[in-house]
Amino acid sequence: SQLAEENLWALSVHEGESVTVNCSYKTSITALQWYRQKSGEGPAQLILIRSNEREKRNGRLRATLDTSSQSSSLSITATRCEDTAVYFCATAPYAQGLTFGLGTRVSVFP
């Protein structure tokens, strides 16, 4: 089973709206990472949030982390069509490489 997983397969929003992707994980972590993968490309790291952080921002992106419920969220504000992608959360337990969730496909429509 996945050590980290997003809770929805797909989300659709219109440009300008906000969207939130949620993730739950099963191991104790030192950090959780969010990635974006556009069609035909490799995953690109968006935000790394460490276990002693509750929130982290990167431009229009905001990640939260709740270690008590082992969950995280990634919010995108003022979405644009180019935000259309699959969003993954990932953890790196025991320094054995990243373990990814299956991803949430976010579609942003004009």
Positions that interact with another protein (CB under 8 A): 2, 30-31, 33, 40-45, 48, 88, 92, 95-103
Q: Indicate the residue among 25 and 100 with the shorter CB distance to another protein.
A: 100
Q: How far is the CB of 60 from another protein (least distance, A)?
A: 21
Calculate the alpha carbon distances from 6 to 11, 15, 26, 74, 105 in Å. Answer: 12, 22, 12, 10, 10
Smallest separation, CB 77 to another protein (Å): 25
Are 25 and 4 in contact by the 8 Å Cβ rule? The answer is yes
Residue 91 Cβ vs another protein, minimum distance, rounded to whole Å: 10
